A and B are shown apart, each in its own frame.
Chain A
């Protein structure tokens, strides 16, 4: 249980992270309560993306990179050697800053993960594709274009398609790395609205550079600086009465 009384879905325990000899994270301890949205904020290069990628071992792909410490998903350490990384990434999905749909149809983008996971029945797949597109709040807009190329969609639509793609395999946690930073305010708002609905069934962790976005969408906020977790807590508290001056300087834009 977290201090707020909500079960902890995911947590980092004594996490250190190295790119070769460069240490990017220092003894990070942080809990992510279930069905809540947690925002990770901090200046560029402070380690937000690195930390986010630790949460589904996306950093494994980087040569020379290594993590120390524990990441507990439902209480189990995913840094354990025996962890099935493919199944881990199905449970902990990810959406990136730049929408990266496959150069295939809208439908195939979402269906792909389902097929990889062994779903074969056409009707089942098509139901799941529709459901995922609906959850990502994009179905109505593109239902007539399901078999057109995903690359013909607008940036905001592509990003929501990527969210639908991540949702299709029913992840328990969704990691979002600045998902709206390349989008206009309307597309951004659509994504923020859908996040609000998604958290009924998902634990969401979002990296954002936009303080207002963090304040709008998240329940909890964690502030990183130079690879260290400086302050974390309820978003409302962080933005109305942060405990530390560093946090205050950053969120009020006095930093730098």
Chain B
């Protein structure tokens, strides 16, 4: 059976290209947010804030493209799964962009007020979140279901590491290492909020891998448990040392 390139395929190719542009824009935002954290550089913060509008625009454009493809072509099979996944992925990407903003907004203040020991932990979490995001985009670009599943499985390990880092952060903020706490309350609060933003970036990155799996195999693995935590980064409250807080 010979195959031909259809108009729908060309449109899907454009949709895919647009999604990859959005992935790259979000990556740039994370890169700048990270640089702002490390270097306390106000231009980098500014760049993240300005870039967010472009990410929002991309979200709307991709949304429109996907809707139009659905309405005019009634795609099926892989094509349908791709469009549906695109609609879900833009939500994740846009949110990751928002979280990059959230981190960037706190970067200068953290850089100025949070002592080095606390800063090291935030940076460590930032690097881990960026690495996971980059891997999820790579998996999507390659359309590789196996790697998508691997990413999700390895997230068990990743979230354990994150939990330990968060516990160190909490210990540090509590001054459990025997020293007097050397941070101001606002620095402590913003440090935790930044940690939460980074935690959400990880969770959203796992979603992107799950969508890649869905596109390739037509199966939703969002709620299939793998290992201890279904491959999801656990919520931040776990790291407070008390486990799940009682109501």
Q: Using CB atoms and an 8 Å cutoff, list the residues of chain A in contact with chain B.
A: 211-212, 215, 225, 239-242, 246-256
In the complex, what residues of B have CB within 8 A of residue A212's CB? Answer: 74
In the complex, what residues of B have CB within 8 A of residue A211's CB? Answer: 74, 76
In whole angstroms, how far apart are the Cα atoms of A215 and B76 in the complex?
9
In whole angstroms, how far apart are the Cα atoms of A250 and B4 in the complex?
11
Instruction: Find out whether the CB atom of A240 lies under 8 angstroms from the CB atom of B3.
Output: no
**Closest approach, in angstroms, between the C-beta of B3 and any C-beta of chain A?**
4
In whole angstroms, how far apart are the Cα atoms of A182 and B6 in the complex?
25
Which one of B44-52, B78-86, B188-196, B232-240 contacts A? B78-86
Contact bitstring B64-78, A, C-beta under 8 A = 1, else 0: 000000000011111
B217 beta carbon closer than 8 Å to chain A: yes
Chain B interface extent, by class? 10 to 19
In whole angstroms, how far apart are the Cα atoms of A240 and B219 in the complex?
10
A/B pair count, beta carbons within 8 Å: 51
In whole angstroms, how far apart are the Cα atoms of A215 and B74 in the complex?
10
In the complex, what residues of B have CB within 8 A of residue A254's CB? Answer: 3-6, 9
Instruction: Find out whether the CB atom of A248 lies under 8 angstroms from the CB atom of B78.
Output: yes
Q: Using CB atoms and an 8 Å cutoff, list the residues of chain B in contact with chain A.
A: 1-6, 8-9, 74-81, 217-219
Given the interface pairs A239-B80, A241-B81, A253-B8, the reply to whether A225 lies near B1 with Cβ below 8 Å is yes
* Inter-chain pairs besides A255-B2, A256-B2, 5 sampled, C-beta below 8 Å: A211-B76, A240-B218, A241-B219, A255-B1, A256-B4
Instruction: Find out whether the CB atom of B80 lies under 8 angstroms from the CB atom of A240.
Output: yes
**Closest approach, in angstroms, between the C-beta of A15 and any C-beta of chain B?**
22
In whole angstroms, how far apart are the Cα atoms of A249 and B218 in the complex?
16
In whole angstroms, how far apart are the Cα atoms of A251 and B3 in the complex?
12
In whole angstroms, how far apart are the Cα atoms of A251 and B1 in the complex?
13
In whole angstroms, how far apart are the Cα atoms of A197 and B13 in the complex?
40
A selection of 10 A-B contacts at a CB cut-off of 8 Å is: A212-B74, A240-B77, A241-B81, A246-B1, A249-B1, A252-B78, A254-B9, A255-B3, A255-B4, A256-B2
Instruction: Find out whether the CB atom of A248 lies under 8 angstroms from the CB atom of B2.
Output: no
Instruction: Find out whether the CB atom of A252 lies under 8 angstroms from the CB atom of B79.
Output: yes
Instruction: Find out whether the CB atom of B2 lies under 8 angstroms from the CB atom of A251.
Output: no
**Closest approach, in angstroms, between the C-beta of B81 and any C-beta of chain A?**
7
In the complex, what residues of B have CB within 8 A of residue A239's CB? Answer: 76-77, 80
In the complex, what residues of B have CB within 8 A of residue A246's CB? Answer: 1
**Closest approach, in angstroms, between the C-beta of A153 and any C-beta of chain B?**
31
In the complex, what residues of B have CB within 8 A of residue A250's CB? Answer: 1
**Closest approach, in angstroms, between the C-beta of B119 and any C-beta of chain A?**
47
Most central of B3, B5, B219 by chain A CB within 10 Å? B3
In whole angstroms, how far apart are the Cα atoms of A256 and B75 in the complex?
17
**Closest approach, in angstroms, between the C-beta of A101 and any C-beta of chain B?**
32
